[in-house]
Amino acid sequence: MALTLAEAAKLSNDLLLQGVVETIVKDSPILQRLPFVEIAGNGLTYNQEKTLPDVDFYDVGDTWDESTPTFEQKTANLKIMGGDADVDNFLKSTRSNVQDLEAAVIELKAKALKNKFEEIFVYGDATSSPKQFDGLKKLIDTATAGDQVIPMGATGATLTLAKLDEVIDVVKGGKPDMLLMSRRSRRKLNALVRAAGGMMDTDRDDWGNFIQFWNGIPVGVNDWILDTHTLADSVETGTTGGTCSTIYALQFGEGALCGLTSPGHLTVEPVGSLETKDATRTRVKWYVSLALFSSVKAAALIGVQD
């Protein structure tokens, strides 16, 4: 069963863990909605759905044609993510009269973990950086022309609402659960809607944050999506030196885009007193990865210019 990080934290009696999860989830549209599947072992090998089998109509006595679906075998290995938070015992004893110093340090470590996850969620590449898991750019493969990669033009072009609808439509099996983009792309989307005489629908999420919707789909902002991509012949050729960005249309779930985690999800581990200095250490760690079970459940609009 797939659970979001926030729902999994509810099953824990660890108040410190619940506080850490709330800290990282409330500011992350990805972690608010991305479900995670607990897996046994250090990785998961799965068959990614590529094409469906053919079906046809036949007359009586016709010879029936056989066709089979096609799959591509993928492997997603859990990666070790986390960091240590040390609190000096002297400062904890003498400077915690206004704010709990230990809680503040752990909260900042949790926010750093959230930032790193959101970065690797987009740009992770286990081939060039084996300690990372593959992110969206690698899973959708924006450097290769395909049905799930929609270019704004050969070298990029200004965003249009028609192209945004096009990338939504190539996500099959229902609407995407999120449109993930940079802040620049969201500003451009807002400008396009206002120029057409409309306004983006807005609502509040479970944490009180305002969230916008396009065509009923939540718009999520990722501060790590670059606006400096380069394009050539309608495919991405680099992440620096250009003026292009990418908008991702994502469907979440066990048969779509899903996180992978070890049993227990994110953990907060009190390491205790350190031997070489007068301090107490807490370790925030997560064995995590990402899997795209069906290629038609995610798409990328590349070459988005301002």
**Encoded amino acid at 129, one letter:** S
Please name the residues in contact with 205: beta carbons below 8 A apart, sequence gap of 6 or more: 29, 32, 211
Domains of the chain, with CATH numbers?
A: 2-49+72-132+256-292 (3.30.2400.20), 136-251+295-305 (3.30.1930)
236 near 53, Cβ under 8 Å? no
Please name the residues in contact with 41: beta carbons below 8 A apart, sequence gap of 6 or more: none
Distances (CA, A) of 159 to 136, 198, 240, 299: 20, 17, 19, 16
pLDDT of residue 118: 94
pLDDT of residue 256: 93
pLDDT of residue 12: 54
Mean pLDDT by 10 residues, the chain (306 residues): 62 58 80 90 85 89 89 90 89 72 82 92 95 95 88 94 96 94 96 89 82 93 95 89 96 93 86 90 92 93 94
77 near 126, Cβ under 8 Å? yes
Q: Take residue 85 and report the two structure tokens written for it.
A: 């938070």
pLDDT of residue 291: 94
Burial 230-261, CB ≥16 within 10 A → b, else e: bbeebbbeeeeebbbbbbbbbbbbeebbbbbb
